[in-house]
Structure 1
Amino acid sequence: MMNTDATHRLLLDNLNTAIVLLNDSLRLEYMNPAAEMLLAVSGQRSQGQFISELFTESPEALPALRQAVEEAHPFTKREALLTTLSGQSLTVDYAVTPIINHGTTLLLLEIHPRDRLLRISKEEAQQSQIETTKVLVRGLAHEIKNPLGGIRGAAQLLARELPGEALKDYTNVIIEEADRLRNLVDRMLGSNKLPSLAYTNIHEVLERVASLIEAESQDCTMLVRDYDPSLPDVLIDHEQMIQAVLNIARNALQALAGYTMTEPARITLRTRALRQFTIGHVRHRLAIRLEIIDNGPGILPDLHDTLFYPMVSGRPDGTGLGLAITQNIISQHQGLVEFESQPGRTVFAIVLPLEQGISPS
């Protein structure tokens, strides 16, 4: 039979909760794989490191941990903001439990990330908005396209009866405007065509987008590539994915073009792998995160909740269809689009599953 210590280690290694064990000097004794994944560090390599070398929190965190060691006093902290070595910010709840072991006090930290729960809630609300918007747009499109067809047909019949070519200029205007409105409605509805899926290197998509953006920017915007070359091919519609990413990148380029900056305008294309990532109610063993980052003015807070709605735009000359189309494309690929924005840094992230998802039990 397995000895008790080995059994305990096996149990800790297989927990989904991040576990960190510190000695009385607040140096790492052990962390389980869930903690390694959360903090993006290796427990074996970090053995013996001081806690602030693993992550940082608020100024009062270290005194509270030292007090827990001295007084063997457990405590819990809600919605703490951790900053990892890689610079990633995490919102977590954590519980600290002192453990007396042969006269020495160890601290057991149980860390529960809240970012994922908050993101899932936001994603579910966003998905509900998508479905509601689709129903509204389909109904609106039906009410618009039917009379447009009648108007266009009547204009064509009228043009045949007019005595002079000069008068036909007016009927041509009616026909052209009816066609323009029909095309606008079709764009609002999005493509009804199902994605033509094939395994594709995501960096081929990004390089195509990069070449288009570089041509449009006329060397006024720096384009930075930050790729993870180890990413496997992903099952996508190549052309649709180019359109989805290009819509976001063009928005970034247009935002930078009208913004007075003290530093060079910059758009960064970044790819990373994600493990055990939940999209909707499905957990995927492996996914990719594609980020389009710009150092422009940011998105107005008033637009954050409605940014993916059709006809919502932060620019006076914008149609507000680009992001709605992007979201529709990514949704057809079983992925998600999310963003965070503040002046000087806006990040749009597309997450696409790489492996078959499993429903959480």
Structure 2
Amino acid sequence: MKLAPSKSAAPAHILDAQTTAVISLDSALRVVFINSTAESVFGVSRRYAIGELFTHAVPQFIPHAERLREALRAGTGFIERELQLRKSGDQAITVDCTVTPMQLGKHVGLLIEILPMDRHLRISRDELLLAQQQASRELIRSLAHEIKNPLGGIRGAAQLLEREFPDSEHREYTRVIIREVDRLQNLVNRLLGPNRVPQKTAVNVHEVLEHVRQLVEAEAPRGVSFMRDYDPSIPELIGDREQLVQAVLNILRNALQAVGDEGAIALRSRTRRQYTIGGIRHRLVVQIDIEDDGHGIPPAMIDKIFYPMVTMRAEGTGLGLPISQYLIHTHGGVIECKSRPGNTVFSIYLPLDVSAGTPA
């Protein structure tokens, strides 16, 4: 059999600089080396992992332990594409995994190279989401403009009739027409979205979150609790405060409606480094999570919630989330959602770097 040369002899800082997770195992499948990318991907520290059985240090590989032992016995490696790895209680991650036998002193070990695919899949999903949103927004704007003119004519005709027949019976009918036209006009204006250019200045993201929290908490039932988990080191971002308030407000009100009279809503802020949004890699991004323990979003609906007029509530307009997505998009960001019964998280990603970023 032909064995790969040991990569563990390479300087650790070189392997730590790689975006591929690298782990080497000895003949007993104990961890000999783990680079910083692997630490980040699997949430394990190097100090704990080295010397531990691989399946103890990285329990995501427990279902694949026998295959690793077979690769060690036979001296043959394997490649697994889009492998789903899951740790109990955690969300599955998708990776490409390459296992290669290698010589470690007098014994044979394994070199495991793991390329996380979630980033690439998420970039594709973000690009598709933004393209779909742009296409649907252009369609909606065209329809809305076509509807506005007839509505103006109907309202004007109703006002003329009101002057022509000033008696109370006819006035009641014309008042209904005018009121309904105004309602439709308001709906069309909301479909068209904000009609002003963003007024961008330095904005403290936590001031925005606290302002929105106070607004929603004031209208929340007594049984709803609000929790905050902010990273105080997050710098100011450049944005339109009012538009950011509106975007967060729409999402937080949805969370309030999801939990009903009793539940918990959490607001969380974190930074992400070298993060890609819509194909553009940013040096620093703020992630704002709005999490609730409500009934969740059905899987059949999760890919449609950012489309206009899509709603799960009889009284809903289906415009809140599309407007939020549009407002965040104008700031170079994106909104993503993950949901299961008892746990729904809307994550807002906004670039913190002044530059536009670089292509991923």
Q: TM-score, normalised by structure 2?
A: 0.89
User: Any gaps of 5 or more consecutive residues in structure 2?
Assistant: 1-6
**Pair 1:85–1:311, CA change in 2 (3 A):** closer
Kept in 1, the 8 Å contact 2:8–2:24? The answer is no
Q: Which amino acid aligns with 1:313?
A: T
Partner SS, residue 191 of structure 1: coil
Moved more, 271-280 or 165-174: 165-174
Task: Tell me the residue number matched to 1:73.
Answer: 76
Moved more, 246-255 or 45-54: 45-54
**Is 2:353 the counterpart of 1:350?**
no
Q: Which amino acid aligns with 2:343?
A: R
Task: Tell me the residue number matched to 1:47.
Answer: 50
Alignment of 1:332-351 (within 5 A): 332-351=330-349
Moved more, 106-115 or 60-69: 60-69
Partner SS, residue 135 of structure 2: helix
Moved more, 118-127 or 314-323: 118-127
Task: Tell me the residue number matched to 1:82.
Answer: 85
Task: Tell me the residue number matched to 1:126.
Answer: 129
Partner SS, residue 167 of structure 1: helix
Task: Tell me the residue number matched to 1:261.
Answer: none
Kept in 2, the 8 Å contact 1:292–1:349? The answer is yes
**Is 2:150 the counterpart of 1:147?**
yes
Alignment of 1:17-28 (within 5 A): 17-28=20-31
**Is 2:90 the counterpart of 1:91?**
no
Tell me the distance in 1 between the aligned counterparts of 2:55 and 2:195: 52
Tell me the distance in 2 between the aligned counterparts of 1:283 and 1:42: 26
Alignment of 1:1-361 (within 5 A): 9=12, 11-43=14-46, 46-57=49-60, 59-83=62-86, 87=90, 89-257=92-260, 265-355=263-353, 356-360=355-359
Deviation at 1:183, TM superposition (A): 0.9
Partner SS, residue 308 of structure 1: coil
Tell me the distance in 2 between the aligned counterparts of 1:163 and 1:60: 81
Deviation at 1:245, TM superposition (A): 1.3
Tell me the distance in 1 between the aligned counterparts of 2:83 and 2:9: 32
Deviation at 1:51, TM superposition (A): 2.6
Percent sequence identity over aligned pairs:
46
Q: Which amino acid aligns with 2:241?
A: H
Task: Tell me the residue number matched to 2:4.
Answer: none
Tell me the distance in 1 between the aligned counterparts of 2:188 and 2:341: 33
**Pair 1:283–1:44, CA change in 2 (3 A):** farther
State the superposition RMSD in angstroms: 2.5
Kept in 2, the 8 Å contact 1:217–1:253? The answer is yes
Q: Which amino acid aligns with 1:93?
A: D
Tell me the distance in 2 between the aligned counterparts of 1:54 and 1:116: 23
Deviation at 1:147, TM superposition (A): 0.5
**Pair 1:334–1:161, CA change in 2 (3 A):** same
1:237-258 Cα deviation digits (max 9, x unpaired): 2221121112112112112218
Partner SS, residue 296 of structure 1: coil
Moved more, 57-66 or 343-352: 57-66
Q: Which amino acid aligns with 1:324?
A: P
Tell me the distance in 1 between the aligned counterparts of 2:57 and 2:199: 44
1:8-53 Cα deviation digits (max 9, x unpaired): 5554333222222223333333233333333344435643344345
Q: Which amino acid aligns with 1:285?
A: R
Kept in 1, the 8 Å contact 2:309–2:319? The answer is yes
Kept in 1, the 8 Å contact 2:292–2:344? The answer is yes
Tell me the distance in 2 between the aligned counterparts of 1:237 and 1:91: 36
Tell me the distance in 2 between the aligned counterparts of 1:53 and 1:101: 21
Q: TM-score, normalised by structure 1?
A: 0.89
Moved more, 38-47 or 73-82: 38-47
Tell me the distance in 1 between the aligned counterparts of 2:87 and 2:173: 65
**Pair 1:21–1:345, CA change in 2 (3 A):** same
1:261-307 Cα deviation digits (max 9, x unpaired): xxx61111122221211111111121121111111111122322221
Partner SS, residue 24 of structure 1: coil
Moved more, 144-153 or 191-200: 191-200
**Pair 1:296–1:12, CA change in 2 (3 A):** same
Q: Which amino acid aligns with 1:322?
A: G
Q: Which amino acid aligns with 1:308?
A: F
1:112-145 Cα deviation digits (max 9, x unpaired): 1121122122222211211111121112112210
Q: Which amino acid aligns with 1:331?
A: H
Q: Which amino acid aligns with 2:221?
A: Q
Moved more, 21-30 or 213-222: 21-30
Partner SS, residue 254 of structure 1: helix
Moved more, 320-329 or 100-109: 100-109
Moved more, 334-343 or 34-43: 34-43
Partner SS, residue 24 of structure 2: strand
**Pair 1:91–1:247, CA change in 2 (3 A):** same
Kept in 2, the 8 Å contact 1:57–1:80? The answer is no
Tell me the distance in 2 between the aligned counterparts of 1:54 and 1:326: 41
